[in-house]
Amino acid sequence: MHVITDQLTSLIDAVPSWAVYLIAMGVVFLETSVVIIGLVAPSEAVLVAAGVLASIGSAHIGILVIGCGLAAMAGDWTGYWVGRGFGPRLGATRLGRRIARRTVRSRGNTPSPSDAIVAVAAARWIGWVRSVIPLVAGARKMPFRRYAVASTIGGVSWSATILLVSFAVGETLGAEMALIVAICVGGLSVAFLIFRRWQAGRHAGTASS
């Protein structure tokens, strides 16, 4: 195990910091700006790996926190405007109506601004929901200022929390244990993704039969 972690640590040291920033911010941005990518990209695993890399490599945690927070905001806002322009069809689907009832409208009535902000901010912490919320919010014409405040709170707190906790794990447990944790999280994320796709395929097969 020491040999493997030493090799991985050496490999990490050779990775330029700009590559870590680019990958982490790119995945965070694309997750909510391009819904298809968001449904398959394990963004939490990427952020965990980036936080660990910052603790044992050349990447700076402060730049990651700021950069990923801005990327989350930009991705949410891009998805919102895409939904505003091309999302009426999405808003008319059963999935769109279901999410919209919880975040933008409730039983045909407009919720209070504070309720909408809390709902959209909280949605950032729920897997696939954060990928479709921007499109649905835009399609249902949620006021942009309200959405921007909510998505900023959710996106910044979500990315900063994951990065800082991962960084702390790396600082506290050391390179060997941090790498083990990162590998386990990545493996579990991939396994969950495979299971989710298998489950979706099974439901689709059941519905068509």
Per-residue confidence (pLDDT) for residue 41, from 0 to 100? 63
Q: Side chain identity at 29, as an amino acid letter?
A: F
pLDDT at 110: 52
At 128, the amino acid letter reads W
CB 142 within 8 A of CB 119: no
CA 107 – CA 98 distance, rounded (Å) = 11
Residue closest to 42 by CA, chosen among 120, 127, 154, 168: 127
Angle between helices 17-33 and 43-56 (to 10 degrees): 160
**Lowest-confidence region among 31-35, 102-106, 193-197:** 102-106
Three-class SS state of 106: strand
Instruction: Give 115-139 pLDDT, tens digit per residue.
Output: 677 888 888 887 777 888 888 888 8
Q: Of 47, 53, 59, 23, give the one whose Cα is nearest residue 170.
A: 53
| pTM of the predicted model as reported, rounded to 2 decimal places | 0.71
* Structural domain count, the chain: 1
Region 74-102 average pLDDT: 73
pLDDT digit string, tens, across residues 149-198:
999 999 999 999 999 988 888 777 665 566 666 666 666 666 655 665 56
190 vs 169: CA distance, rounded Å: 21
Query: Amino acid identity of 177?
Result: M
Q: At what angle do helices 144-208 and 129-139 cross, to 10 degrees?
A: 120
Tell me the pLDDT tens digit for each residue of 36-70: 665 566 688 788 888 888 887 788 999 999 999 99
3-state helix, strand, coil in the chain (%, to 5): 85, 0, 15
Kind and range of the H or E run holding 18: helix 17-33
Per the structure, the complete domain to which residue 125 belongs is given by 2-208
